[in-house]
Amino acid sequence: MVAGLGFGGGWILYAYVIGFGIADGSGARGLVLLLFIPSAVISLIGHTKNGLVDWKEIWPGIPLGIAALVLGFWLYSKADEGVLRIVLIALLSVVGLSETVGGFRMKNG
């Protein structure tokens, strides 16, 4: 349930499954998805009941999200693993820095 709330539980589960040899990388990703999807649905239902989801604003983004998903899978199938790692590290660094700076601005602003 923590993963559905955005606390990184999926990464913890992934590391645990691989670290203890329960499954390889592919199997661990499948297990995380198997557990994350129901928790995401439950979280979405709860957030909708609490009025935190504005479906009128979400619907236009769904086709763009699907298009990005298809493009991402296509790029993944064409790219070298080393390049993907570098891109992921860069993306996570930018997002982390942005969230950190944004958090300081909200606290001080």
Question: Which residue matches tokens 């592919």?
Answer: 26
Q: Are residues 30 and 68 in the same domain?
A: no
Reference 4, options 38, 53, 50; nearest CA is: 38
Query: Which positions ≥6 away from 60 have C-beta within 8 Å?
Result: none
Q: Are residues 72 and 109 in the same domain?
A: yes
**pLDDT confidence of residue 109:** 54
Domain limits for position 47: 1-53
Read off the pTM.
0.52
Q: Are residues 65 and 39 in the same domain?
A: no
Q: Are residues 79 and 38 in the same domain?
A: no
Q: Are residues 67 and 101 in the same domain?
A: yes
Number of domains in the chain: 2
**pLDDT confidence of residue 1:** 46
Question: Which residue matches tokens 């709860």?
Answer: 46
Q: Are residues 62 and 23 in the same domain?
A: no
* Cβ neighbours of 40 (radius 10 Å): 15
**pLDDT confidence of residue 32:** 81
Q: Are residues 62 and 95 in the same domain?
A: yes
Q: Are residues 105 and 64 in the same domain?
A: yes
Query: Which positions ≥6 away from 42 have C-beta within 8 Å?
Result: 1, 4
**pLDDT confidence of residue 4:** 47
Q: Are residues 70 and 101 in the same domain?
A: yes
Average pLDDT per consecutive 10 residues, the chain (109 residues; last block may be shorter): 55 78 80 84 91 90 92 86 84 86 69
